């Protein structure tokens, strides 16, 4: 009979990927350094635009200049990750991000900082992130054993949540008390450390018959995704969940309606707190085989929690609901990442990672537009709770339309077994 301690310890994050893969350890630590250091620029850049212009529209324009480069270079980055050494892509983009941070530092040190370089850098950062993300995501499937993919996704999500909570908080203090230039300086130092760490990664060359990056290659990846109902379901459910139930842009108005202006920061942080709690108790997810159920259940839970957040009039209940929503989003994300890494062939992994960049970046952008339009039409709280219910309904309909997602089992799915055999052969 297992002891209570054994049962509790089973909830702790599964550290098997950390123990089995030196490259995973390096990438995990490198990512943590990057999250904390880049948070400085993420906070300082919009604040500097605000100080230079005094215009909310000028600050919001950052999103417009970032979206197109992310889409274009995300797709190209996927094709690039299948055609060249992924380690080289990660190194080059990290170095490029450090150079862009240097541009921000030089501009901040001018007697009169200029506005336009801030937008150029924002677009450049988005482009480099689009190039880098597919290489990073596709590398995970190579360096972590097939059966440890869920644990690896949980550890990476835990790292991201730690960075997203503590990074901006620390960055806010640095910017407030030291100014923009020191914040950009910390960002440069962080990328310098990151480059040194990435140099220690093992080479990750492409297949010997890999083709050069091309539109035809991108289209081949899209056709593969379209032909696999399980993959299609992960993309569609994520897009639907974010489109209907991503109300972050109207949180300031929700705080006003609840007479709780002081709670705005907590609203933005609550989701990350919920995700962090789930990450710290994610050990059980390593034993799950039906990862499609995680995708569907997590997305439906996200929608229900968002609907409840819009319905309740008590601020503390709202914050609790947002925390539950964050946990649901992470659960769905673990299922998606596991299915992607367990089923996609190595020769297509980069291109499919490029499509993944679109699935989890375009959805929130469109979701913020939907939330803003609905809030202006029906009111803030109504926009939140109707969006949450629409999310639940769309997840249900997509699950019925793509039943293979619900029945996915990593131990019996043909694509999963094929990918497992491919990884075993590569390791030999």
How many angstroms separate the CA atoms of 422 and 414, rounded? 12
pLDDT higher than 80, residue 286: yes
pLDDT at site 427: 63
Contacts (Cβ under 8 Å, ≥6 apart) of 422: 345, 346
Q: How confident is the model at residue 302 (pLDDT cuts 50, 70, 90)?
A: very high
How many angstroms separate the CA atoms of 1 and 320, rounded? 35
pLDDT at site 7: 53
Q: Are 260 and 382 in contact (CB under 8 A)?
A: no
How many angstroms separate the CA atoms of 342 and 403, rounded? 19
How far separated are the first and last CA of the chain, in Å rounded? 39
How many angstroms separate the CA atoms of 164 and 187, rounded? 15
Of 68-82, 139-153, 164-178, 197-211, the one with minimum mean pLDDT is: 164-178
Q: Are 404 and 293 in contact (CB under 8 A)?
A: no
pLDDT at site 428: 63
Tell me the pTM. Answer: 0.78
Mean pLDDT of the chain: 86
Nearest Cα to 138, choosing from 356, 418, 382? Answer: 356
pLDDT at site 149: 86
Q: How confident is the model at residue 405 (pLDDT cuts 50, 70, 90)?
A: very high
How many angstroms separate the CA atoms of 317 and 321, rounded? 6
Each residue of 15-44: pLDDT tens digit? Answer: 888 888 999 999 999 998 988 888 788 878
Mean per-residue pLDDT, 371-396: 91
């Amino acid at each position: 009979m297992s002891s209570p301690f054994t049962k509790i310890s089973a909830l702790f994050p599964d550290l098997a990927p950390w123990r089995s893969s030196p490259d995973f350890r390096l990438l995990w630590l490198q990512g943590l350094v990057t999250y904390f250091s880049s948070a400085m620029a993420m906070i300082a850049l919009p604040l500097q635009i605000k100080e230079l212009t005094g215009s909310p529209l000028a600050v919001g324009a950052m999103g417009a200049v970032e979206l197109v480069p992310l889409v274009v270079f995300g797709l190209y980055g996927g094709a690039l990750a299948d055609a060249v050494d992924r380690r080289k892509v990660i190194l080059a983009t990290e170095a490029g991000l450090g150079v862009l941070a240097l541009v921000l530092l030089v501009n901040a040190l001018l007697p009169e900082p200029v506005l336009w370089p801030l937008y150029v850098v924002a677009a450049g950062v988005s482009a480099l992130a689009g190039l880098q993300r597919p290489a990073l995501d596709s590398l995970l499937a190579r360096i972590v054993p097939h059966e440890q993919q869920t644990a690896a996704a949980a550890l990476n999500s835990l790292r991201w949540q730690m960075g997203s909570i503590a990074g901006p908080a620390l960055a806010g203090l640095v910017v407030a008390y030291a100014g923009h230039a020191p914040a950009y300086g910390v960002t440069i130092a962080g990328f310098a450390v990151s480059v040194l760490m990435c140099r220690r990664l093992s080479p990750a060359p492409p297949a010997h018959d890999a083709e050069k990056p091309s539109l035809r290659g991108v289209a081949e990846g899209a056709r593969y995704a379209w032909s696999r109902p399980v993959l299609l379901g992960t993309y569609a459910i994520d897009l639907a969940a974010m489109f209907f139930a991503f109300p972050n842009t109207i949180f300031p108005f929700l705080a006003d309606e609840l007479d709780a202006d002081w709670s705005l920061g907590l609203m933005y942080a609550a989701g990350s707190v919920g995700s962090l709690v789930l990450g710290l108790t994610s050990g059980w997810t390593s034993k799950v085989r039906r990862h499609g159920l995680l995708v569907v259940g997590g997305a439906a839970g996200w929608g229900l929690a968002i609907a409840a957040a819009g319905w309740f009039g008590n601020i503390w209940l709202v914050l609790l609901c947002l925390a539950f929503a964050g946990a649901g989003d992470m659960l769905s994300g673990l299922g998606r990442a596991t299915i992607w890494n367990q089923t996609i062939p190595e020769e297509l992994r980069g291109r499919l990672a490029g499509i993944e960049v679109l699935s989890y970046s375009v959805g929130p952008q469109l979701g913020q537009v939907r939330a803003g339009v609905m809030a202006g039409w029906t009111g803030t709280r109504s926009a939140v709770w109707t969006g949450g219910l629409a999310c639940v309904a769309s997840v249900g309909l997509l699950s019925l339309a793509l039943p293979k997602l619900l029945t996915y089992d990593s131990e019996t799915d043909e694509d999963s077994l094929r990918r497992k055999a491919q990884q075993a052969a590569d390791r030999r």
